[in-house]
Amino acid sequence: MSQDSNLVSAESINLAVSSALSEIDKANDLDELKLIKLNHAGDRSPIALANREIGSLQGEAKSEAGKRIGQARSVVKEALDNRMVELQNNREDSILVAEKVDVTQVLANAKSSSLVVGARHPLTTIAEHIADVFIAMGYEIAEGPEAEAEWFNFDSLNISEDHPSRSSSDTFYVESLDSGVVMRTQTSPVQMRAMLERKPPIYVIAPGKVFRTDELDATHTPVFHQVEGLAVDKNLTMADLKGTLDHLAKTMFGEEIETRFRPSYFPFTEPSAELDLKCFVCKGVNKKEDFDCKTCRNEGWIEWGGCGMVNPNVLETAGIDSTRYSGFAFGMGLERTLMFRYGITDMHDLVEADIRFTSNFGLGI
Ligand SMILES: [Zn+2]
């Protein structure tokens, strides 16, 4: 019997199989298993070499060797396949552990490490807070474009063609003055869009950016934020408006806050009112000799926003029968609200996105 024919003996094959199974079992990872596969099932493996010898055998010896080698190959192959599945599962588990991120841990450690954690801008937070208050009362969020058709921004809201707010000294016009497109000067055009898109009853709130040609100073900015509210239903009155705004004021400034309406004029509401808050610094006490209140300039009240009953002309423009339905609307500046709420005295702090300012407000709502 030649050296080569020993390769096909039962002893040789059993040895090759047990050696392969032992190494497969010890493989620690897929790379190791790949090498073991090459050594024990590859072209130069003992079993592959034995397989080549079959051709030189005859008769019964040939068929026995063929059967033995076939079984050996399938045993080794099955062991390789099983171990591969096990190692793949192990690898996925370890990746899940290694890549696990504990966000609370990061935040908890933030103050004591050099890791810089951002903060939400308080304007975003307050807009969401106000939206939440109204969503809880059954309002929907309405949106409109910031580059708005002049018709929506002015005409549809009963603002006459010669109204001073339409001049280019107050309003940003897009391209040319006769383009018919402006950067919206208020969130009120969303009211008209909401009325055209929906049928009464309508309850919407519209927070968003607005634009006016103001220079940036301590109390003005050319880009600022408003929140607008509109309700159209049967039998709505000023009492509903007052109750709604009182509720908002209490959620923003606390249960003790007092509000008042002061008669005013807006083209799109009739009657119209300014919404004032009782000054929370001097508690509405008019000027005393020993105290000069800078917050309300000794007025005792602070102007917060504008409101009123929707002008019937505006309802009719939107195709709503003003003899069957009435509506109320209100709007207030978010920067102004934030400044009151947190005693912020300079508008620059709100537009400069300095993390030393915003981080004081954290991430919450
Ligand atoms: Zn005051």
Q: What is the CATH number of the domain that holds 168?
A: 3.30.930.10
CA of 218 to the centre of ligand 1 (A): 19
CA of 173 to the centre of ligand 1 (A): 38
In the chain, the amino acid numbered 68 is R
Judge whether 73 lies within some domain: yes
**Full DSSP string of 69-81:** HHHHHHHHHHHHH
CA of 209 to the centre of ligand 1 (A): 29
Q: In sequence order, what are the beta bridge partners of 227? A: 207, 332
Q: Which of 189, 180, 181 is nearest to 317 (CA)?
A: 189
Overall number of domains in the chain: 2
Cβ atoms of residues 71 and 14 within 8 Å: no
State the Cα–Cα distance between residues 134 and 276, nearest whole angstrom.
20
In the chain, the amino acid numbered 260 is R
Domain shared by 68 and 167, yes or no = no
CA of 343 to the centre of ligand 1 (A): 12
Judge whether 280 lies within some domain: yes
**Full DSSP string of 45-92:** SHHHHHHHHGGG--HHHHHHHHHHHHHHHHHHHHHHHHHHHHHHHHHH
Judge whether 108 lies within some domain: no
CA of 269 to the centre of ligand 1 (A): 29
CA of 300 to the centre of ligand 1 (A): 5
Q: In sequence order, what are the beta bridge partners of 307? A: 273, 330
Domain shared by 155 and 91, yes or no = no
Q: Are strands 140-141 and 202-211 parallel, antiparallel or unpaired?
A: parallel
Domain shared by 180 and 65, yes or no = no
Tokens of 2: 């030649």
CA 32 to each of CA 37, 38, 86, 97: distance values in angstroms, whole numbers, following the listed order: 9, 10, 13, 22
Which helix (H) or strand (E) covers residue 113, if one does?
none
State the Cα–Cα distance between residues 246 and 137, nearest whole angstrom.
13
Q: Are strands 147-149 and 181-183 parallel, antiparallel or unpaired?
A: antiparallel
CA of 230 to the centre of ligand 1 (A): 30
State the Cα–Cα distance between residues 66 and 15, nearest whole angstrom.
16
CA of 338 to the centre of ligand 1 (A): 17
CA of 292 to the centre of ligand 1 (A): 8
Provide the residue range defining the domain that includes 310.
122-361
Q: Are strands 269-278 and 202-211 parallel, antiparallel or unpaired?
A: unpaired
Cβ atoms of residues 275 and 330 within 8 Å: yes
CA of 337 to the centre of ligand 1 (A): 15
Place of tokens 């300095």: 354
pTM equals 0.65
Task: List the chain pLDDT tens, one digit each, 365 residues.
Answer: 444 457 788 888 899 999 999 999 999 999 999 999 999 988 888 888 888 888 888 888 888 888 989 999 999 999 999 999 999 988 888 888 888 776 665 555 555 555 566 778 888 888 999 999 999 999 999 999 999 988 889 888 888 888 877 777 788 888 777 788 999 998 989 999 999 999 999 999 999 999 988 888 777 788 889 999 999 999 999 999 999 999 999 998 889 899 999 999 998 999 999 999 988 778 777 655 667 777 788 888 989 999 999 999 999 999 999 999 999 999 999 988 888 888 787 778 877 777 777 777 766 54
CA of 214 to the centre of ligand 1 (A): 26
Judge whether 110 lies within some domain: no
pLDDT the model gives residue 289: 63
State the Cα–Cα distance between residues 132 and 48, nearest whole angstrom.
72
pLDDT the model gives residue 3: 45
Domain shared by 135 and 217, yes or no = yes
CA of 305 to the centre of ligand 1 (A): 17
